[in-house]
Structure 1
Amino acid sequence: MTRERLNHFYVWLIIAVGATVVLFSAGHLALGTIDVRFLLLALATVLIGPRLSIQIPRVKAHISVSDTFVFLSLLLFGGEAAILLATAEALCASLRIGSKLRTHLFNAAVMASATFLTVWTLRFLFGETVAWRDVYSQNYLIAICVMAVVQYLGNSILVAIGSALKAGDRVWSSWRKNFLWTSITYFAGASAAGLIARFIGNVGFFAFAATIPIIAIVYFTYWTYMKNVENSAAQAEQARRHVEELNRHIAEQERISKALRETEQHFRNAFDYAAIGMALVSPQGGWLRVNRSLCDLVGYTEQELLESNFQAVTHPEDLGSDLANLYRLMQGETPTSHVEKRYVHRLGQIVWALNSVSLVRDSDDKPAHFIFQIQDITERKRAEAALQSLSLVDELTGLYNRRGFLAITEQHLTSIRRNQKIPVILYADLDGLKVINDSLGHHEGDRALVKAAEIFKETFRSSDIIARIGGDEFVVLAAIGPEESAEFLTNRLQEKFKATSSQWNHSYDLSVSVGLAHFDDDEGHSIEELMALADRAMYENKRHKRSRHNFTPEVISPRMEAVA
């Protein structure tokens, strides 16, 4: 049976028991006990009692001073009259508070059942209440306490069971949380009823008037107590929510602090142990933090650098452009700066470096510091100077010639493999150069070669080796990642030529035929052998394009197109 159905069954069971109690009590009611005094008491109970009530915190239930009237009717007019009066009072009070018929019947049945239990407990232990004569005896006080306890337990337990079934809670937990402290009302009501009954026994019915101030005192005392309880409960609930919110805030702050500490540790490790020089530099140029690689690069200790600035170790001829680049960073004109510049070593020699700089701003978007990444390129600069001095550069295009290409590739291959990349050879031939020379002269042919060299430089990385090894032949040693495709380089080169030709204000278009050759460590080909393989692949590409376009050389007039 589900909890809802069990609660439904319990409610109707109590209603049936209450109806039986009411019928039984009405059948055994002695009509001789019903007089004007009872009618006045019943009228006060029904009309005044329910209006002097206080809600129980956290539950939909009320406590009224009508308990005093019910106990008084029990002492003065007997058990059956008290049961019927308690049932009527509970029904009227429920009608004032709620609107559901089943709830009205349940409340009335609970009151009837609890009062019935109280009446018969007192009869079993002390006899008929109207027959108590010695109101000054110890037994009278005990009987009053028993009356309060049984009424309190019967009423609260029956309601607690219904609340527990409805909320899915345990009966003990529901009773302890919502009804334990309500015993004060029953003891106060029973005590007031006992005093009033004693007065009536001594001075007559007019002593009933004394019930009004007594009940008022009890009511307003309890009302004040309940307000204090409600305020204390509200303050406790508010404090609990504040504590929970504070705990969540503290936990979130701890999580953020931990993440920041981990991020700072990662940055510190990457900074301190980087293979290149790294530094934090103030907007004024002072070194804020430097790593070991930078100290080794310029020959100064960490303390010596921190007491100086980057201007002190920068070559005077490069300082102006350096300051201009930093100014553009602070103005937001560019996100980063990459320049090749010269530092002056402590011993006086020149140190060439690739300087990469970015700017970090604070919470107010003001410059906080620069991050310098300084890579030593001195050896590369020396190699370039040596190549230039050995006439390893093509004078027309500024690219390496065949000798320069072969001289530098072995060293570059080692660097490519050290960086775990794949070297490829790209061989290219400028289409239609002979036709351009024959029709427009060698001067125009030279211009076409220079333009082609510019396109190669724009297409490939600065670290790739580009050379012109013949009249119209170019070769490139490029590096690609494990996930990259060499065909992508070919397509990018062809697209670059095509885009340039669309803007080329000449009587001919520029295009190239391309061949590729991949390095395979297992086969052990030399550079020249791979160049020969790429050359054959290039001529196969040229032959295929001629077949596709039915290409035949002809004199340019007035515009010639070096077809791809």
Structure 2
Amino acid sequence: MIDKRRYEIFTVIVICLILYALSVYFDLAEILFGLSHRFEYLQVDEFFIFLLIAGCGIGYLGMRQMKALRREVAERKRIEAALKESEQYATALFKTMQTGMVVIDRQSRCILDVNPAAREMIGVAREKIIGRKCHNYICPNSRGECPIADQGQIIDRSERILLKADGTQMPVLKSVIATTLRGSLCLIETFTDLTERKALEEQLKELSLTDDLTGISNRRGFMQLAEKQILLAERIKCELYLIFADIDNMKWINDTLGHDMGDEAICDVAQLICCSLRRTDLVGCGRLGGDEFAMLLTSVTMVQGEHPVLERIKAKQRELNARPDRRYQLEISFGSARFDPENPCTLEQLVAEADQKMYECKRSRKEKNNGS
């Protein structure tokens, strides 16, 4: 659609063309018919018409250039407004985001800016952070090992340590990217506090190694600990004792008194073991599954061929069975194996020996009970 200004220019040009056409027509009429005396007042100078048309054309072209210039200026203002809006958005995001963020000069490794979340995590005022070397707070033990600045990576995402102002360390997930800000090469680092996640991981790890019913180590937890302790005992030439324990009448308890009472029996044995162990005795104990338990103990002077811990467990077992409210007698069979660092064996061999002796004890007691 032709706007008003363009319509006016077009009208002027059309009028000038009409006048020029009339001038040509009158000139021909004068030559052919001698009619000049009738139309002299309508004759127009051709040069004037040429100037008029040329001026209109130039004016029209000028108007087009002015419109193009106005469009360019408007576009530039639109771009500047968009850039300003984008900068305001980035600034607001930088200040309000919950993830810590710092801007670091790539050459000097000095911190150029820090957002409120990072200040809170570090625990010091912004003025005391700006200008400091980044490794004073971030990755304090990794100087010269920056994946971006030292090793040429483009992006880094890894678990690191944030050194707080009070000297404590905070596990963080750090992301780094290289960029250019205001003509300078910079690193933008963001870091998220992993303290809660690490604590949860430790809880999950503990749960994966802990027996839900008794609270002591499960089979996996005990075997991992025993494997490490046997390797250590072999290296430092230290004797160890592995003791297995198994509830004799577990099936009868479950079938006659119910599984709740069976769970109670399992917890009673775990309690007997824990109460009978001293810190100097214990290397580790755990429930291997069902009604089977294991203890890995340090070397001590044997009492009548038995480890002193066994005697303490049996004494507490007699006390428990003597209680007037007991509905059944708790019977436990034991088997033990000795680890000799001079003639070392594997954990599997030690377990097999203790397990065999425990079943020999169980069979002997069963035969004795049947004989009586």
Who wins on radius of gyration, i.e. which is larger? 1
The structure with the largest helix share of the pair is 1
- Provide the TM-score with structure 1 as the length reference: 0.31
Q: Which has the higher contact order (CA 8 A, sep 6+)?
A: 2
